[in-house]
Amino acid sequence: MFWLFVGIITLTFVLPLLSVWIVVKVTALAKAHPKPAKYTLITMFIILMVACGLKIRDIYYEKSPYYFWNELIKKNPKPNDITQE
């Protein structure tokens, strides 16, 4: 219960504050040095896209816990000597 409370507090307060802090830092960098800020934003966007792509790939290609059981059933629908456990 304690960790749930800590997680809710983190999601509610800490992450938005960190997001605002990052945006403020990037806008300050953009005002001071426009060209490096552009490259920084492009790099951050590419890293974000790669991370999201890897997560989507993991979700899409995740095998079912019963994958091997289902493969066994496809080969032999009524195995006599193997239990599902």
Q: Long-range pairs for 5-8 at CB < 8 Å and ≥24 separation?
A: none
pLDDT for 14 equals 81
pTM of this structure:
0.48
> What is the SS3 assignment for 3?
helix
| Stretch 48-77: mean pLDDT | 83
- Dihedral of CA atoms 23, 26, 28, 34 in degrees, nearest 10, equals -140
Largest CA distance in the chain: 74
Both tokens assigned to 51: 């991370």
pLDDT for 67 equals 81
What is the C-alpha to C-alpha distance for residues 81 and 52, in angstroms, rounded to an integer?
44
